[in-house]
Amino acid sequence: MVRIDKSQLSSLRNASTQAIRDKAREIVATATEESTIFDEVAINKIPRFDGDELVLGHVLGRGGFCAVRELISIKMPADIDELPRQSSIKRLFCCREKTLNPAALLESDENDNAEIDSVTETTSEMGGIPREKLARYVSKTKKKYGTSKYVVKQVNDELQYHDKVAYLKAIVDIELEVKYMTSLNHPNILRIRGMSSPNPANGDTFIIFDRLKETLAKRMQDWLRRHRQCRGITGAVVGSKGKKEDLLVERLVAAHNIADALDYLHNRGIIFRDCKPDNIGFCGHGALKLFDFGLAREVHEKDRVKGTELYRLTGFTGAIRYMAPEVGLRKPYNFKADVYSWSQLMWYILELEPPLGVYTPQMFRERVFKRGTRPAVMDAWPNHMGDLMKKCWSPTVSERPDFKQVKETLGVVLLPYNNKKLLPNRFGEPCLPGDKECRNANASASDTSVMEACGHHKPHQHHHTHAIVNDDCCDGDEHAPVVLQQC
């Protein structure tokens, strides 16, 4: 874990921009040396761009120190479409693959004479689409759908003039974010597509991502609208019971997806530390995606508090509403801090309003962190949910379940709602999370038994039959049929 002490902070306030960038590079290099999970091969495969090669559109969202903008196009040499054509055998092979991979459909745009390249690597392998190909995808998708399917997350460069420490933190966070996200491969974690050049002359630091359709924060509003429609006279008219149940299952599956992504991170020694509706989104296919790894950190043995399961890590980090008490009180903590955050998010998902919505930061400090106040457990929740939530937000860290247990309980909660649409098994039959068949079919990329069965020895993105849980998306046609890809 990299720390900047207070004496360093004061000298940084007077440092030049170049010195700040050098310091950021040093911090990231130390973190990289200490890491056991960063995949430098995959990181080196990510295509790099200079800031002046990107044509950006309007701002889609802002965070603490960053802005996320639509990526309109990537400027490439004029002869980009004149790249050598492939042999007819390879093209034939790729046409076969086109039927297996929705991403290939993108390549078959009738109005476009571009190559049908070997597209499998674009969606199923770690690492990147080559520079030119990404540039082509950006233009083609923009042309095809009218809106760009890619975004750029950029450090707010203004910071270097009025808050050098924040600027340093922002660069470190975004550089580490690249390293984490490139080294991870899970259907519910957003993919990186490109990043800034290693030593950009103009200092731009950015990441290119697939564009999300909306955040969970936005989706909650839609869920609330649909929930209200199921009540009263409107509900009676539209036949509310089935709709209400479908809506609940949709929300529980989203919660399960989040738990699965966090479980995957924890199994790799990473704490996410920023689980909240603004950092979760849905892609064009409907698949849930966790993003914003700016606060994610890999834990190291040297940070462990002797004789405990806890680590010395930066305190008071993340959003206060979702922050575990031990993090808020700057005590040692561990992966279970994410379990606490998930419980607050789950409360929001169940009640469709923020937990402890009227609380001020001061009230969180005094009541939640110190006195153990929690949101109410509701009678209307499905069986087992109340007990699960109470365990997840327990002030005693060791009483909180891990995400494997959370997923198991959610599977049991979902069992009575045998919704036929949500989770098809590997034969296309519906099943619920936790069912044996379903586990096989929907096993995440972390499931080594599935990887071995498929003969893959490195992390590999699996494609499954349904978008909601497992879709690897965003290269493909939003409306393209999602077809089972055999390993």
Ligand X SMILES: Nc1ncnc2c1ncn2[C@@H]1O[C@H](COP(=O)(O)OP(=O)(O)O)[C@@H](O)[C@H]1O
169 lies in the binding site for ligand X (CB under 6 A): no
The pattern of x and - marking residues 280 through 309 that bind Mg ion according to CB under 5 A reads ------------x-----------------
Q: What CA–CA distances, in Å, run from 283 to 159, 167, 351, 471, 478?
A: 30, 30, 24, 9, 9
Nearer to Mg ion, 68 or 469 (CB): 68
263 lies in the binding site for Mg ion (CB under 5 A): no
Of 160, 183, 279, 446, the one binding ligand X by CB under 6 A? 279
209 and 293 Cβ atoms separated by less than 8 Å: no
Torsion-angle region of 428 (φ positive above 0: left; ψ -120 to 50: alpha; else: beta):
left
141 lies in the binding site for ligand X (CB under 6 A): no
Partner whose footprint covers residue 107, from Mg ion, ligand X, none (CB < 5 to 8 Å by kind): none
- Please identify, among the stretches 39-47, 61-69, 465-473, 476-484, the one whose residues bind Mg ion according to the rule CB under 5 A: 61-69
- Please identify, among the stretches 271-279, 320-328, 406-414, 456-464, the one whose residues bind Mg ion according to the rule CB under 5 A: 271-279
Nearer to ligand X, 215 or 341 (CB): 215
Of 20, 151, 310, 469, the one binding ligand X by CB under 6 A? 151
Of 153, 169, 285, 462, the one binding ligand X by CB under 6 A? 153
Pure H helices in 39-163: 40-45, 88-98, 102-107, 120-124, 131-145, 159-162
209 lies in the binding site for ligand X (CB under 6 A): yes
In the sheet with 48-49, reading across from the earlier edge strand, the strands are 48-49, 192-196, 206-210, 150-155, 66-74, 54-62
Of 39, 260, 292, 472, the one binding ligand X by CB under 6 A? 292
Q: Which two tokens stand for residue 468?
A: 């909601």
Which residue is closest to Mg ion by CB?
A: 292
Q: Which residues contact 293 (CB under 8 A, 6 or more apart)?
A: 176, 177, 180, 181, 272
Whole-angstrom distance, CA of residue 37 vs CA of residue 40: 9
180 and 293 Cβ atoms separated by less than 8 Å: yes
- Please identify, among the stretches 4-12, 111-119, 206-214, 252-260, the one whose residues bind ligand X according to the rule CB under 6 A: 206-214
Q: Which residues contact 290 (CB under 8 A, 6 or more apart)?
A: 188, 189, 190, 258, 261, 262, 272, 279, 280
In angstroms, what is the minimal distance from the CB of 153 to ligand X?
5
HSE toward the beta carbon, residue 476, CA cutoff 13 A: 26
Q: Which of 261, 191, 262, 151 is nearest to 45 (CA)?
A: 191
278 lies in the binding site for ligand X (CB under 6 A): yes
291 lies in the binding site for ligand X (CB under 6 A): yes
Of 15, 32, 63, 72, the one binding Mg ion by CB under 5 A? 63
Nearer to Mg ion, 327 or 431 (CB): 327
Residue position matching structure tokens 């499998």: 120
Residue 383 is given by DSSP the state T
Type of residue found at 469? V
In angstroms, what is the minimal distance from the CB of 265 to ligand X?
16
355 and 321 Cβ atoms separated by less than 8 Å: yes
Residue position matching structure tokens 């069965």: 453
Nearer to ligand X, 414 or 474 (CB): 474
In angstroms, what is the minimal distance from the CB of 270 to ligand X?
16
Nearer to ligand X, 66 or 252 (CB): 66
Nearer to ligand X, 135 or 208 (CB): 208
The number of residues that bind ligand X (CB under 6 A) is 19
Pure H helices in 372-428: 385-392, 403-414
In angstroms, what is the minimal distance from the CB of 181 to ligand X?
10
279 lies in the binding site for Mg ion (CB under 5 A): yes
Nearer to ligand X, 68 or 94 (CB): 68
Nearer to ligand X, 152 or 432 (CB): 152
Partner whose footprint covers residue 209, from Mg ion, ligand X, none (CB < 5 to 8 Å by kind): ligand X
Nearer to ligand X, 170 or 431 (CB): 170
Q: Which of 367, 304, 299 is nearest to 338 (CA)?
A: 299
Whole-angstrom distance, CA of residue 182 vs CA of residue 459: 11
Which residue is closest to ligand X by CB?
A: 63
Residue 353 is given by DSSP the state S
* Rounded (to 5) percent helix, strand, coil in the chain: 45, 10, 40
35-74 residues near ligand X, rule: CB under 6 A? 60-66, 68
For binding to Mg ion (CB under 5 A), which residues are involved?
Answer: 63, 279, 292
Q: Under the rule (CB under 6 A), what is the footprint of ligand X?
A: 60-66, 68, 151, 153, 209, 211-212, 215, 278-279, 291-292, 294
